[in-house]
Structure 1
Amino acid sequence: MDTQQNTALTRALAEVPGPLPASGVIHIVIPHTSRFTVVGNHLAQHPDLSCTAVGIAVRIQSLPPGARVGIKELAARCREGEKRVAAALRELETCGYLQRARVRLPGGRIVTRTVFCNQPTALLRPRRPAAAASTSTSTSTSTSTSTAAVQQRPAPVQAQAEAQPPTPAPAQASAPAAPAARPATPPAPPPAPPTPAPPQPPALPFVPLVPPPTAPKPPPTPLPRPGGPTPELDRAATALLGDLRRHAPQFTLSETDIRQLAPGVAAWLERDAHPDTIRHTLTNDPPHPLRHPAKLLRHRLTALLPPPLPGSLDLVAPTRPRIAVTPFQTCDDCDRAFRSSAPGHCRDCREDRAYRAYRTEDRAGRTEDRAGRTEGVRTAA
């Protein structure tokens, strides 16, 4: 009694046409009559987009033209933070659904124009100009209208002729009666000239982020080769490639594949790579099923090539120039610490000593001068 039954859901499930699936989701499709947005399965089931990016794309499609779709505006509308919204916009920009371009206005202000395309793959196909499309549409519409008018206008006249009973010819008439003249069908009016489409503002150039399938592909990276090929290196590389099937049976190579891949293994051996390391790198975690083992080995030999081992001189840390540090000394007079290469006195004590020595010499000089003057006076007397 405490379990509530959803009668509306039960009634809706009963109205679903066809047998219900034994497992999985059951769709109850109710057509929308207002306030809906058409979303393609290429977006809803995109393998490279996260659910957050798909939700942000649907939110942007549902907004009217001119609405602000910046990071802060979307974060204010959604429960996701600004970091998740920014990451979702980057995903949409990578897959071609969103494009943001900086445009300079006539006044010198720089603004960001956001362009959202609900089907970016359609932009890669050539499209007819809008004027030609409208002209062909109007021409076909006018032609179909005139054809329908020609087919429908004689209908009332024919109906009247069938409704009236045939008039019997008089017996006295010796000459056959002339056939009744049917009303002429009025000619169809000439098609109206197509109305020229109003000039539209130039659209922003759309640069697809995903290259089209017909774009030229870059040349493949060449297989590495040893700097100094020797018979010993070639023999060791050939033996290593031929021995791969003992450790991984799916890497059974033909003689032609071994002859083509041997220079790449020789380049690894030349760079002092251990054979066990090479074998583990080439055969570790292969895809299932492995259809082209030679192509996989060629890719790994090229992409995972280790650098040459550094020399003994390259491993030595660079020596920095040593800076001579003047040691501390203690002043003999005031016990103050100062930097000097030899013990002695600090600067203040040296200046004080120099000043006292100067005063002593000056005093001695004045005393001698005074004694000389006194002796001169005595001699004169």
Structure 2
Amino acid sequence: MATQQPSSALPAPAPADPYPMAKPGYGKRSTPDQQPRTRNDFTLLPTRERYVAGFVDHLPDGAAMSVKQLAKQLPLYGQQAISTALNALSVAGHLRRVRCSVGAGDETRWVFRTFWSRTARDNEWWSTYLATEKAVQATQAVSPAPARPAPEAPAARQAPEPNPVPPQRAPDQDPAADLPSPAYLALARLGHQDHRLALSADDCAALEARAAEWLGRGVSVDYLTSALTAGLPTTVDHPAGLVRRRLTDKLPPQLPTPTTANTPTRRVLMECTDCGRPGQPENLPDGLCRPCRTAHTAEAPVQPAEVADVKARMANLRDLLKPV
């Protein structure tokens, strides 16, 4: 059995300047009901993972969680090492990346969060929590970034300020934040299903909100694709117009559910911690998709005793979390 070495992990540095906050809809979000912070947190994790976990645990909610930003603050490790450490923390039950749609109609957009738990959680706990209204509200909650005072300029040479343009994406956000939504992907793949419905990037962006409304009513991407490609005329002169008309005319009904009062209107969609591929929590065990999970297992450092200790602890945690 591996001997615990709490002192072997390098202490996470305290940033000299205030840590940058993420843009609205992004950043860290703490989960509820965590154990109090102690000196023994993360002691069973490898040194690098303890170092990263200790730093992330002390960040405030709303802090930027991109690999690029973390690597700037943790100079001992590069972006690749930070990314690998975050994957390991996801497998250990401390972290999940999620997205959730906000708004309605043509104003629908996706927001992204990284949920963090100092207390290691099993897959069942994460799946249950991310299906609750509390998780949806935490995803949509926005923590405004503190305003930075502009440097003073001489009165005689003061230049007019440019018109502010609200950013659509955080410039330091993970590549996962730039992934298209399931509705956009469904529209983009129509041309692969039937060349008569080949849409441009602008067409997909313009029709994305209408397609998202279908998915929001409980239909699958396959159902949406079938409804749009069935019974096409021999020649389609204007694919975008035909798709728009079908999205409007064939919109499925909103079916009421018996558990409406206990079910959130919007469910959090988990993302693979490594590649950002979206999916339901139950389809991404340990927060990783199948290919990334396989790669993570293959690339894991060879530490048999320590890994066995971590697995034993996680198994014990799963047993403790199960209802009596």
Q: TM-score range by the shorter chain?
A: under 0.3
TM-score scaled by structure 2? Answer: 0.27
Larger radius of gyration: 1
Q: Which has the higher contact order (CA 8 A, sep 6+)?
A: 2
